[in-house]
Chain A
Amino acid sequence: MSAFDRLSTWIDEPQPVLRLALVRILAPLAILGFMSARLVHADEWIGDAGFRVPDLGGDWRQPIFIPALPSNVAWALAALMIVSGLACAAGWKTRGSGLVFAATLAFVAVSDRLAAFTVSKLSPFVMLAVALGPSGTRLGVDAWRKQRAGGKRPLKVEVAGSLRFLQLLLVTIYSASGIAKVHGDWLKEPLVLWTQLHDSYQTPFTFALASALPAWAWTLFQGLTLAFELGAPLWFVLPRTRVPALCFGLGMHAMIGLMFGPVVWFALLMMILLAATFLPDAGLAPLERLADRLEERRPAEAR
Protein backbone atom coordinates (compact mmCIF):
# COMPACT_ATOMS: atom_id res chain seq x y z
CA MET A 1 0.00 0.00 0.00
CA SER A 2 1.46 3.36 -1.01
CA ALA A 3 1.81 6.27 1.43
CA PHE A 4 -1.00 8.09 -0.37
CA ASP A 5 -3.28 5.04 -0.03
CA ARG A 6 -2.46 4.74 3.65
CA LEU A 7 -3.18 8.42 4.19
CA SER A 8 -6.39 8.12 2.21
CA THR A 9 -7.47 5.13 4.30
CA TRP A 10 -6.74 7.04 7.48
CA ILE A 11 -8.77 10.02 6.25
CA ASP A 12 -11.68 7.76 5.28
CA GLU A 13 -11.75 5.89 8.59
CA PRO A 14 -15.21 6.24 10.17
CA GLN A 15 -15.21 8.75 13.02
CA PRO A 16 -17.73 9.75 15.70
CA VAL A 17 -20.04 12.25 14.04
CA LEU A 18 -20.53 13.92 17.40
CA ARG A 19 -17.06 15.45 17.14
CA LEU A 20 -17.98 17.36 14.00
CA ALA A 21 -21.38 18.22 15.45
CA LEU A 22 -19.61 19.83 18.42
CA VAL A 23 -17.50 21.94 16.06
CA ARG A 24 -20.65 22.84 14.12
CA ILE A 25 -22.45 23.98 17.28
CA LEU A 26 -19.63 25.80 19.05
CA ALA A 27 -17.27 27.17 16.38
CA PRO A 28 -19.82 29.53 14.75
CA LEU A 29 -20.60 30.95 18.20
CA ALA A 30 -16.93 31.68 18.89
CA ILE A 31 -16.51 33.14 15.40
CA LEU A 32 -19.60 35.33 15.80
CA GLY A 33 -18.24 36.40 19.20
CA PHE A 34 -15.06 37.55 17.47
CA MET A 35 -17.08 39.28 14.77
CA SER A 36 -19.52 40.91 17.20
CA ALA A 37 -17.37 44.01 17.78
CA ARG A 38 -17.22 44.46 14.00
CA LEU A 39 -20.84 43.54 13.25
CA VAL A 40 -22.25 46.29 15.47
CA HIS A 41 -20.34 48.78 13.31
CA ALA A 42 -20.91 47.04 9.96
CA ASP A 43 -21.35 50.30 8.04
CA GLU A 44 -17.99 51.58 9.30
CA TRP A 45 -16.28 48.22 8.92
CA ILE A 46 -17.13 47.11 5.40
CA GLY A 47 -19.46 49.95 4.41
CA ASP A 48 -18.95 53.45 3.18
CA ALA A 49 -19.44 55.16 6.55
CA GLY A 50 -15.90 54.53 7.79
CA PHE A 51 -12.31 54.86 6.65
CA ARG A 52 -11.22 52.67 3.73
CA VAL A 53 -7.69 52.05 2.54
CA PRO A 54 -7.68 53.28 -1.08
CA ASP A 55 -7.00 50.98 -4.03
CA LEU A 56 -3.23 50.47 -3.84
CA GLY A 57 -2.95 48.72 -7.17
CA GLY A 58 -1.55 45.39 -6.07
CA ASP A 59 0.36 46.37 -2.95
CA TRP A 60 1.30 43.32 -0.87
CA ARG A 61 -0.72 44.58 2.10
CA GLN A 62 -3.88 44.57 0.03
CA PRO A 63 -4.45 41.06 -1.39
CA ILE A 64 -7.42 42.35 -3.35
CA PHE A 65 -9.17 45.71 -3.40
CA ILE A 66 -12.85 45.61 -2.60
CA PRO A 67 -14.65 48.96 -2.58
CA ALA A 68 -16.77 49.95 0.41
CA LEU A 69 -20.31 48.60 0.31
CA PRO A 70 -23.26 50.97 0.54
CA SER A 71 -24.25 51.08 4.20
CA ASN A 72 -27.54 49.22 3.75
CA VAL A 73 -25.74 46.40 1.90
CA ALA A 74 -23.12 46.26 4.68
CA TRP A 75 -25.89 45.86 7.27
CA ALA A 76 -27.58 43.20 5.12
CA LEU A 77 -24.32 41.26 4.85
CA ALA A 78 -23.84 41.50 8.62
CA ALA A 79 -27.35 40.14 9.12
CA LEU A 80 -26.68 37.32 6.67
CA MET A 81 -23.51 36.40 8.55
CA ILE A 82 -25.33 36.26 11.87
CA VAL A 83 -28.32 34.32 10.56
CA SER A 84 -26.24 31.80 8.60
CA GLY A 85 -23.86 31.33 11.53
CA LEU A 86 -26.67 30.71 13.98
CA ALA A 87 -28.51 28.47 11.50
CA CYS A 88 -25.38 26.39 11.06
CA ALA A 89 -24.87 26.16 14.84
CA ALA A 90 -28.48 24.99 15.15
CA GLY A 91 -27.95 22.46 12.39
CA TRP A 92 -30.65 23.99 10.18
CA LYS A 93 -29.96 23.39 6.49
CA THR A 94 -26.44 22.78 7.69
CA ARG A 95 -24.58 22.46 4.42
CA GLY A 96 -26.17 25.54 2.88
CA SER A 97 -25.99 27.71 5.97
CA GLY A 98 -22.39 26.61 6.61
CA LEU A 99 -21.35 27.48 3.07
CA VAL A 100 -23.09 30.87 3.22
CA PHE A 101 -21.49 31.59 6.60
CA ALA A 102 -18.06 30.61 5.22
CA ALA A 103 -18.59 32.85 2.19
CA THR A 104 -19.53 35.89 4.32
CA LEU A 105 -16.47 35.26 6.53
CA ALA A 106 -14.19 35.05 3.49
CA PHE A 107 -15.65 38.25 2.08
CA VAL A 108 -15.11 40.34 5.21
CA ALA A 109 -11.58 38.96 5.61
CA VAL A 110 -10.55 40.38 2.24
CA SER A 111 -12.85 43.40 2.28
CA ASP A 112 -11.18 44.91 5.32
CA ARG A 113 -7.62 43.88 6.05
CA LEU A 114 -7.44 46.32 8.96
CA ALA A 115 -9.90 44.39 11.12
CA ALA A 116 -8.79 40.96 9.88
CA PHE A 117 -6.83 38.70 12.21
CA THR A 118 -6.11 34.98 12.46
CA VAL A 119 -9.74 34.14 13.24
CA SER A 120 -10.84 36.07 10.13
CA LYS A 121 -8.62 33.99 7.85
CA LEU A 122 -9.00 30.66 9.62
CA SER A 123 -12.75 30.63 10.14
CA PRO A 124 -13.86 30.31 6.48
CA PHE A 125 -11.91 27.05 6.24
CA VAL A 126 -13.21 25.72 9.54
CA MET A 127 -16.74 26.43 8.37
CA LEU A 128 -16.08 24.86 4.96
CA ALA A 129 -14.97 21.71 6.76
CA VAL A 130 -18.11 21.80 8.88
CA ALA A 131 -20.36 22.36 5.85
CA LEU A 132 -18.80 19.63 3.73
CA GLY A 133 -18.74 16.98 6.47
CA PRO A 134 -21.62 15.12 8.12
CA SER A 135 -21.81 17.66 10.95
CA GLY A 136 -25.54 18.21 10.60
CA THR A 137 -26.55 14.60 10.98
CA ARG A 138 -26.69 14.75 14.78
CA LEU A 139 -27.95 17.21 17.38
CA GLY A 140 -29.54 19.73 15.09
CA VAL A 141 -32.69 20.77 13.31
CA ASP A 142 -31.83 18.79 10.16
CA ALA A 143 -31.25 15.62 12.22
CA TRP A 144 -34.44 16.17 14.18
CA ARG A 145 -36.53 16.68 11.05
CA LYS A 146 -35.00 13.66 9.34
CA GLN A 147 -35.61 11.50 12.35
CA ARG A 148 -39.18 12.76 12.66
CA ALA A 149 -39.83 11.99 9.02
CA GLY A 150 -38.24 8.54 8.93
CA GLY A 151 -38.02 7.53 12.54
CA LYS A 152 -34.40 6.39 12.08
CA ARG A 153 -31.73 7.20 14.60
CA PRO A 154 -28.73 9.02 13.05
CA LEU A 155 -25.48 7.14 12.50
CA LYS A 156 -22.95 7.56 15.29
CA VAL A 157 -19.90 7.01 13.11
CA GLU A 158 -19.37 8.06 9.53
CA VAL A 159 -16.54 8.80 7.15
CA ALA A 160 -15.55 12.33 8.12
CA GLY A 161 -12.60 13.70 6.16
CA SER A 162 -13.48 17.11 7.59
CA LEU A 163 -12.55 15.92 11.05
CA ARG A 164 -9.16 14.70 9.82
CA PHE A 165 -8.67 18.05 8.08
CA LEU A 166 -9.31 19.92 11.34
CA GLN A 167 -6.93 17.64 13.26
CA LEU A 168 -4.20 18.18 10.67
CA LEU A 169 -4.91 21.91 10.61
CA LEU A 170 -4.24 22.25 14.33
CA VAL A 171 -1.02 20.27 14.15
CA THR A 172 0.08 22.25 11.08
CA ILE A 173 -0.55 25.59 12.81
CA TYR A 174 1.30 24.56 15.97
CA SER A 175 4.24 23.10 14.06
CA ALA A 176 4.67 26.13 11.79
CA SER A 177 4.23 28.47 14.71
CA GLY A 178 6.92 26.64 16.69
CA ILE A 179 9.39 26.78 13.80
CA ALA A 180 8.63 30.48 13.29
CA LYS A 181 9.40 31.06 16.97
CA VAL A 182 12.74 29.25 16.60
CA HIS A 183 13.55 31.46 13.61
CA GLY A 184 12.48 34.44 15.70
CA ASP A 185 13.62 35.26 19.23
CA TRP A 186 12.33 32.37 21.29
CA LEU A 187 15.67 30.59 21.62
CA LYS A 188 17.72 33.78 21.93
CA GLU A 189 15.69 35.88 24.32
CA PRO A 190 14.50 34.31 27.59
CA LEU A 191 11.75 36.90 28.19
CA VAL A 192 9.80 36.94 24.90
CA LEU A 193 6.56 36.14 26.71
CA TRP A 194 7.21 38.80 29.33
CA THR A 195 7.61 41.45 26.64
CA GLN A 196 4.11 40.66 25.32
CA LEU A 197 2.38 41.53 28.60
CA HIS A 198 2.61 45.30 28.57
CA ASP A 199 0.43 46.67 25.83
CA SER A 200 -3.26 47.31 25.26
CA TYR A 201 -4.05 43.58 25.23
CA GLN A 202 -3.28 43.52 28.96
CA THR A 203 -6.11 42.30 31.22
CA PRO A 204 -6.37 42.49 35.05
CA PHE A 205 -5.37 38.81 35.08
CA THR A 206 -2.25 39.55 33.01
CA PHE A 207 -1.33 42.36 35.35
CA ALA A 208 -1.82 40.21 38.43
CA LEU A 209 0.34 37.40 37.02
CA ALA A 210 3.01 39.77 35.74
CA SER A 211 3.16 41.35 39.19
CA ALA A 212 3.28 38.06 41.06
CA LEU A 213 5.42 35.65 39.05
CA PRO A 214 9.21 35.70 38.99
CA ALA A 215 11.07 36.17 35.71
CA TRP A 216 12.06 32.50 35.50
CA ALA A 217 8.38 31.49 35.42
CA TRP A 218 7.92 33.38 32.14
CA THR A 219 10.99 31.69 30.70
CA LEU A 220 9.57 28.33 31.80
CA PHE A 221 6.20 29.06 30.12
CA GLN A 222 8.09 30.14 27.02
CA GLY A 223 10.05 26.90 26.93
CA LEU A 224 6.97 24.74 27.49
CA THR A 225 5.02 26.58 24.78
CA LEU A 226 7.85 26.19 22.31
CA ALA A 227 8.26 22.49 23.12
CA PHE A 228 4.52 21.95 22.71
CA GLU A 229 4.34 23.72 19.35
CA LEU A 230 7.54 22.33 17.86
CA GLY A 231 6.70 18.79 18.93
CA ALA A 232 2.98 18.97 18.10
CA PRO A 233 3.16 16.48 15.20
CA LEU A 234 4.72 13.96 17.58
CA TRP A 235 2.58 14.75 20.64
CA PHE A 236 -0.69 14.41 18.73
CA VAL A 237 0.30 11.37 16.66
CA LEU A 238 1.56 9.21 19.53
CA PRO A 239 -1.37 7.78 21.51
CA ARG A 240 0.49 8.06 24.83
CA THR A 241 1.18 11.77 24.50
CA ARG A 242 -2.10 12.79 22.85
CA VAL A 243 -4.08 13.40 26.03
CA PRO A 244 -1.30 15.32 27.82
CA ALA A 245 -0.87 17.40 24.64
CA LEU A 246 -4.59 18.08 24.53
CA CYS A 247 -4.56 19.17 28.18
CA PHE A 248 -1.52 21.40 27.64
CA GLY A 249 -3.06 22.93 24.51
CA LEU A 250 -6.31 23.67 26.29
CA GLY A 251 -4.43 25.21 29.21
CA MET A 252 -2.23 27.27 26.91
CA HIS A 253 -5.19 28.67 25.02
CA ALA A 254 -7.09 29.33 28.25
CA MET A 255 -4.14 31.40 29.48
CA ILE A 256 -3.94 33.24 26.15
CA GLY A 257 -7.66 34.00 26.33
CA LEU A 258 -7.39 35.27 29.89
CA MET A 259 -4.25 37.30 29.33
CA PHE A 260 -4.62 38.93 25.93
CA GLY A 261 -7.97 40.73 25.89
CA PRO A 262 -9.45 40.51 22.39
CA VAL A 263 -7.51 37.32 21.59
CA VAL A 264 -10.06 35.47 23.74
CA TRP A 265 -12.13 34.53 20.65
CA PHE A 266 -9.14 33.01 18.89
CA ALA A 267 -8.33 31.10 22.07
CA LEU A 268 -11.91 29.83 22.35
CA LEU A 269 -11.99 28.73 18.72
CA MET A 270 -8.75 26.80 19.11
CA MET A 271 -9.98 25.19 22.34
CA ILE A 272 -13.19 24.10 20.60
CA LEU A 273 -11.24 22.57 17.72
CA LEU A 274 -8.77 20.88 20.06
CA ALA A 275 -11.38 19.42 22.36
CA ALA A 276 -13.77 18.31 19.63
CA THR A 277 -11.13 16.68 17.47
CA PHE A 278 -8.69 15.22 20.02
CA LEU A 279 -10.80 14.41 23.08
CA PRO A 280 -10.33 10.66 23.68
CA ASP A 281 -13.35 8.45 23.03
CA ALA A 282 -13.70 7.88 26.79
CA GLY A 283 -13.94 11.66 27.28
CA LEU A 284 -16.51 11.88 24.54
CA ALA A 285 -18.64 9.08 26.05
CA PRO A 286 -20.71 11.28 28.43
CA LEU A 287 -21.55 13.57 25.52
CA GLU A 288 -22.48 10.54 23.40
CA ARG A 289 -24.85 9.37 26.14
CA LEU A 290 -26.38 12.84 26.38
CA ALA A 291 -26.82 12.96 22.60
CA ASP A 292 -28.37 9.48 22.71
CA ARG A 293 -30.91 10.58 25.29
CA LEU A 294 -31.83 13.65 23.25
CA GLU A 295 -32.22 11.56 20.11
CA GLU A 296 -34.33 8.93 21.93
CA ARG A 297 -36.84 11.59 22.98
CA ARG A 298 -37.39 12.99 19.57
CA PRO A 299 -39.69 10.35 18.05
CA ALA A 300 -41.88 10.58 21.15
CA GLU A 301 -42.02 14.37 20.83
CA ALA A 302 -42.87 13.98 17.18
CA ARG A 303 -45.77 11.67 17.93
Chain B
Amino acid sequence: MNASARTALKVLGAVYLAGVWLDGVGSNLPGKILPRTAEYFMQIAALFPRAEVASIDYRAQGWVCQDRRWEELDTRPYFPIDPDNKENRFERVLHFFHEHRGPSRGDGRARPEDVTLRALDAYLVGAHNDGKRDDGIPRDRMLGGTRFLSLRIPLPRPGDRLERVVRHPLEDYPEKQRAYWYHTPHAKIEAHCGYHAGEVELE
Protein backbone atom coordinates (compact mmCIF):
# COMPACT_ATOMS: atom_id res chain seq x y z
CA MET B 1 0.00 0.00 0.00
CA ASN B 2 1.53 3.35 -0.98
CA ALA B 3 1.88 6.40 1.26
CA SER B 4 -1.10 8.27 -0.25
CA ALA B 5 -3.40 5.32 0.28
CA ARG B 6 -2.20 4.97 3.86
CA THR B 7 -2.82 8.66 4.54
CA ALA B 8 -6.29 8.43 2.98
CA LEU B 9 -7.12 5.44 5.18
CA LYS B 10 -5.89 7.30 8.27
CA VAL B 11 -8.14 10.25 7.44
CA LEU B 12 -11.16 7.99 6.78
CA GLY B 13 -10.50 6.10 10.00
CA ALA B 14 -10.30 9.36 11.94
CA VAL B 15 -13.58 10.61 10.43
CA TYR B 16 -15.31 7.34 11.31
CA LEU B 17 -14.04 7.36 14.90
CA ALA B 18 -14.95 11.02 15.35
CA GLY B 19 -18.43 10.27 13.99
CA VAL B 20 -18.91 7.33 16.36
CA TRP B 21 -17.85 9.44 19.33
CA LEU B 22 -19.91 12.50 18.40
CA ASP B 23 -23.03 10.46 17.69
CA GLY B 24 -22.60 8.57 20.95
CA VAL B 25 -22.32 11.71 23.08
CA GLY B 26 -25.46 13.13 21.49
CA SER B 27 -24.03 15.63 19.00
CA ASN B 28 -26.08 16.18 15.87
CA LEU B 29 -23.00 17.21 13.87
CA PRO B 30 -22.58 13.83 12.09
CA GLY B 31 -26.21 14.04 10.97
CA LYS B 32 -25.66 17.51 9.56
CA ILE B 33 -22.55 16.83 7.53
CA LEU B 34 -22.65 13.17 6.59
CA PRO B 35 -24.97 11.17 4.34
CA ARG B 36 -27.64 9.38 6.35
CA THR B 37 -26.25 5.95 5.53
CA ALA B 38 -22.80 6.91 6.81
CA GLU B 39 -24.30 8.31 10.00
CA TYR B 40 -26.31 5.11 10.48
CA PHE B 41 -23.13 3.04 10.62
CA MET B 42 -21.75 5.35 13.29
CA GLN B 43 -24.67 4.78 15.66
CA ILE B 44 -22.97 2.08 17.71
CA ALA B 45 -22.24 3.66 21.09
CA ALA B 46 -24.73 5.10 23.63
CA LEU B 47 -25.98 1.67 24.72
CA PHE B 48 -28.57 1.50 27.53
CA PRO B 49 -28.32 5.14 28.65
CA ARG B 50 -31.69 5.23 30.42
CA ALA B 51 -33.47 3.28 33.14
CA GLU B 52 -36.39 1.18 31.97
CA VAL B 53 -39.73 2.10 33.48
CA ALA B 54 -41.50 -1.11 32.46
CA SER B 55 -40.87 -4.27 30.50
CA ILE B 56 -42.37 -3.72 27.05
CA ASP B 57 -43.75 -6.53 24.93
CA TYR B 58 -45.58 -6.06 21.64
CA ARG B 59 -48.49 -8.25 20.59
CA ALA B 60 -51.03 -8.56 17.80
CA GLN B 61 -54.64 -9.59 17.62
CA GLY B 62 -56.65 -10.67 14.62
CA TRP B 63 -60.32 -9.92 13.94
CA VAL B 64 -61.88 -13.33 13.30
CA CYS B 65 -64.66 -12.76 10.81
CA GLN B 66 -66.79 -15.78 11.72
CA ASP B 67 -66.51 -15.29 15.48
CA ARG B 68 -66.76 -11.51 15.27
CA ARG B 69 -64.11 -10.90 17.91
CA TRP B 70 -60.44 -10.12 18.45
CA GLU B 71 -58.18 -13.05 19.25
CA GLU B 72 -54.48 -13.10 19.95
CA LEU B 73 -52.45 -13.71 16.80
CA ASP B 74 -49.06 -15.29 17.45
CA THR B 75 -46.77 -13.35 15.10
CA ARG B 76 -43.71 -15.52 15.72
CA PRO B 77 -44.37 -17.98 12.86
CA TYR B 78 -44.32 -15.02 10.45
CA PHE B 79 -41.27 -13.39 12.08
CA PRO B 80 -39.07 -16.40 12.79
CA ILE B 81 -35.77 -14.60 13.53
CA ASP B 82 -35.17 -14.45 17.30
CA PRO B 83 -38.81 -15.38 17.95
CA ASP B 84 -38.69 -15.23 21.73
CA ASN B 85 -37.00 -11.98 22.52
CA LYS B 86 -37.22 -8.30 21.76
CA GLU B 87 -34.80 -8.56 18.85
CA ASN B 88 -37.64 -10.17 16.89
CA ARG B 89 -38.49 -8.17 13.77
CA PHE B 90 -42.18 -7.81 14.69
CA GLU B 91 -41.18 -6.27 18.02
CA ARG B 92 -38.75 -4.01 16.18
CA VAL B 93 -41.37 -2.73 13.74
CA LEU B 94 -43.57 -1.71 16.64
CA HIS B 95 -40.60 -0.36 18.59
CA PHE B 96 -39.57 1.92 15.74
CA PHE B 97 -42.94 2.86 14.33
CA HIS B 98 -45.27 3.22 17.27
CA GLU B 99 -43.07 5.12 19.69
CA HIS B 100 -41.82 7.79 17.40
CA ARG B 101 -45.05 9.08 15.91
CA GLY B 102 -44.25 12.42 14.40
CA PRO B 103 -46.72 15.17 13.60
CA SER B 104 -49.00 14.68 10.62
CA ARG B 105 -47.44 15.65 7.36
CA GLY B 106 -48.81 18.78 5.87
CA ASP B 107 -48.39 17.57 2.31
CA GLY B 108 -51.28 15.11 2.42
CA ARG B 109 -48.99 12.08 2.40
CA ALA B 110 -49.48 9.37 5.00
CA ARG B 111 -47.09 9.36 7.93
CA PRO B 112 -44.30 6.76 7.83
CA GLU B 113 -45.79 5.13 10.93
CA ASP B 114 -49.16 4.68 9.23
CA VAL B 115 -47.59 3.41 6.01
CA THR B 116 -45.57 0.85 7.93
CA LEU B 117 -48.32 -0.33 10.25
CA ARG B 118 -50.74 -0.73 7.34
CA ALA B 119 -48.15 -2.80 5.51
CA LEU B 120 -47.65 -4.90 8.63
CA ASP B 121 -51.41 -5.31 8.96
CA ALA B 122 -51.76 -6.44 5.33
CA TYR B 123 -48.80 -8.82 5.68
CA LEU B 124 -50.21 -10.54 8.77
CA VAL B 125 -53.77 -10.80 7.46
CA GLY B 126 -52.48 -12.23 4.18
CA ALA B 127 -50.11 -14.64 5.95
CA HIS B 128 -52.85 -15.99 8.22
CA ASN B 129 -55.43 -16.27 5.47
CA ASP B 130 -52.92 -18.23 3.36
CA GLY B 131 -53.22 -20.84 6.11
CA LYS B 132 -49.67 -22.12 5.90
CA ARG B 133 -48.56 -21.68 9.52
CA ASP B 134 -50.06 -22.15 12.98
CA ASP B 135 -50.52 -18.80 14.68
CA GLY B 136 -52.97 -19.58 17.46
CA ILE B 137 -56.08 -18.80 15.37
CA PRO B 138 -57.51 -21.81 13.50
CA ARG B 139 -56.49 -21.84 9.85
CA ASP B 140 -60.09 -22.13 8.68
CA ARG B 141 -61.00 -18.87 10.41
CA MET B 142 -60.60 -15.84 8.12
CA LEU B 143 -59.08 -12.67 9.48
CA GLY B 144 -60.62 -9.33 8.56
CA GLY B 145 -57.91 -7.20 10.15
CA THR B 146 -55.43 -6.83 12.96
CA ARG B 147 -54.68 -4.61 15.88
CA PHE B 148 -51.35 -4.04 17.57
CA LEU B 149 -50.69 -3.31 21.19
CA SER B 150 -47.92 -3.08 23.70
CA LEU B 151 -47.86 -4.57 27.14
CA ARG B 152 -46.25 -2.45 29.81
CA ILE B 153 -45.37 -4.95 32.49
CA PRO B 154 -44.31 -3.33 35.78
CA LEU B 155 -40.76 -3.96 36.93
CA PRO B 156 -40.16 -5.64 40.28
CA ARG B 157 -38.35 -3.73 42.97
CA PRO B 158 -35.20 -5.10 44.58
CA GLY B 159 -36.24 -7.49 47.33
CA ASP B 160 -39.54 -8.43 45.63
CA ARG B 161 -40.16 -12.10 44.97
CA LEU B 162 -39.02 -12.51 41.35
CA GLU B 163 -40.49 -14.68 38.61
CA ARG B 164 -38.70 -15.76 35.45
CA VAL B 165 -39.68 -13.67 32.45
CA VAL B 166 -41.86 -15.90 30.26
CA ARG B 167 -44.33 -15.13 27.52
CA HIS B 168 -47.89 -15.49 28.82
CA PRO B 169 -51.03 -15.41 26.66
CA LEU B 170 -52.40 -11.92 26.20
CA GLU B 171 -55.49 -12.74 28.25
CA ASP B 172 -53.28 -13.11 31.35
CA TYR B 173 -52.45 -9.40 31.33
CA PRO B 174 -54.88 -6.87 32.78
CA GLU B 175 -56.36 -4.24 30.49
CA LYS B 176 -54.49 -1.46 32.32
CA GLN B 177 -51.16 -2.93 31.13
CA ARG B 178 -52.22 -2.79 27.49
CA ALA B 179 -51.82 0.12 25.10
CA TYR B 180 -53.44 -0.19 21.68
CA TRP B 181 -51.59 1.53 18.87
CA TYR B 182 -53.22 0.51 15.64
CA HIS B 183 -56.20 -1.37 14.23
CA THR B 184 -57.33 -2.03 10.70
CA PRO B 185 -59.83 0.64 9.63
CA HIS B 186 -63.38 -0.56 10.37
CA ALA B 187 -64.53 -0.18 6.79
CA LYS B 188 -61.72 -2.45 5.65
CA ILE B 189 -62.63 -5.12 8.18
CA GLU B 190 -66.27 -4.95 7.12
CA ALA B 191 -65.23 -5.32 3.49
CA HIS B 192 -62.87 -8.24 4.20
CA CYS B 193 -65.44 -10.08 6.29
CA GLY B 194 -68.44 -9.28 4.07
CA TYR B 195 -70.29 -7.43 6.82
CA HIS B 196 -72.80 -4.64 6.25
CA ALA B 197 -71.58 -1.20 7.23
CA GLY B 198 -71.89 -0.69 10.98
CA GLU B 199 -73.06 -4.27 11.48
CA VAL B 200 -70.68 -5.05 14.33
CA GLU B 201 -68.98 -3.07 17.07
CA LEU B 202 -65.27 -3.71 16.64
CA GLU B 203 -63.80 -2.18 19.79
A residues adjacent to B (C-beta < 8 A):
8, 11, 37-38, 41, 44-45, 50-54, 56-64, 106, 109-110, 112-115, 117-118, 121-122, 124-125, 132, 161, 165, 168-169, 172-173, 175-177, 179-181, 183-186, 189, 191-192, 194-196, 198-202, 204, 207, 210-211, 214-215, 218, 261-262
Nearest A residue (CB) for B119: A54
Q: How far is the CA of A151 from the CA of B164 in the complex (A)?
A: 59
A118 touches B44 (CB 8 A): yes
* Chain A contacts for B26, CB-based, 8 A: 179-180, 183
Q: Count A/B pairs, Cβ under 8 Å.
A: 184
B112 touches A198 (CB 8 A): no
B45 touches A191 (CB 8 A): no
Q: How far is the CA of A200 from the CA of B165 in the complex (A)?
A: 6
Query: Does B103 interact with chain A (Cβ within 8 Å)?
Result: no
* Chain B contacts for A62, CB-based, 8 A: 112
Nearest B residue (CB) for A109: B41
B165 touches A186 (CB 8 A): no
A64 touches B44 (CB 8 A): no
Given A51-B119, A177-B24, A179-B25: A37 and B82 within 8 A (CB)?
yes
B107 → A minimal CB distance (Å): 11
**What are 20 A-B contacts with C-beta separation under 8 Å?**
A44-B79, A54-B119, A57-B109, A64-B36, A132-B1, A161-B10, A168-B13, A169-B17, A176-B20, A176-B22, A180-B25, A180-B45, A185-B50, A192-B51, A195-B53, A195-B155, A198-B52, A211-B162, A215-B159, A261-B85
CB interface residues, B 32-49, toward A, < 8 Å: 36-37, 39-49
Chain A interface helix/strand/loop/mixed: helix
* Chain A contacts for B70, CB-based, 8 A: none
Q: How far is the CA of A211 from the CA of B17 in the complex (A)?
A: 39
Residue in A38, A59, A194, A199 whose CB lies within 8 Å of B81:
A38
Binds A, one of B91-99, B136-144, B188-196: B91-99
Nearest A residue (CB) for B55: A199
Residue in A41, A63, A173 whose CB lies within 8 Å of B40:
A63
Residue in B43, B100, B165 whose CB lies within 8 Å of A199:
B165
Given A125-B16, A177-B45, A207-B162: A61 and B112 within 8 A (CB)?
yes
Q: How far is the CA of A261 from the CA of B81 in the complex (A)?
A: 14
Query: Does B187 interact with chain A (Cβ within 8 Å)?
Result: no
Q: How far is the CA of A215 from the CA of B156 in the complex (A)?
A: 12
B164 touches A207 (CB 8 A): yes
A222 → B minimal CB distance (Å): 10
* Chain A contacts for B16, CB-based, 8 A: 125
* Chain B contacts for A207, CB-based, 8 A: 162, 164-165
* Chain B contacts for A122, CB-based, 8 A: 44
B55 touches A198 (CB 8 A): yes
Nearest A residue (CB) for B163: A207
Q: How far is the CA of A215 from the CA of B123 in the complex (A)?
A: 44
A121 touches B41 (CB 8 A): yes
B residues adjacent to A (C-beta < 8 A):
1, 6, 9-10, 13, 16-17, 20-26, 36-37, 39-53, 55-57, 78-82, 84-87, 89-90, 92-93, 96-97, 100, 109, 112, 115-116, 119-120, 123, 153, 155-156, 158-159, 162, 164-165, 167
Given A168-B17, A180-B46: A115 and B89 within 8 A (CB)?
yes
Given A114-B89, A169-B17, A183-B26: A198 and B10 within 8 A (CB)?
no
A161 touches B6 (CB 8 A): yes
Q: Can you add 18 more A-B contacts, CB < 8 Å, to A45-B81, A54-B116, A54-B119?
A: A37-B82, A44-B79, A51-B89, A51-B90, A53-B119, A64-B37, A109-B40, A121-B42, A132-B1, A165-B13, A172-B24, A173-B20, A176-B20, A176-B23, A176-B45, A177-B47, A181-B48, A184-B49
* Chain B contacts for A194, CB-based, 8 A: 158
Q: How far is the CA of A124 from the CA of B92 in the complex (A)?
A: 22
* Chain A contacts for B82, CB-based, 8 A: 37, 115, 262
Residue in A58, A125, A214 whose CB lies within 8 Å of B41:
A125
Nearest A residue (CB) for B16: A125
Residue in B1, B25, B78, B116 whose CB lies within 8 Å of A56:
B116
Which of B42, B100, B155 has the largest number of chain A CB atoms within 10 A?
B155
Q: How far is the CA of A114 from the CA of B97 in the complex (A)?
A: 11
A170 → B minimal CB distance (Å): 10
Nearest B residue (CB) for A176: B24
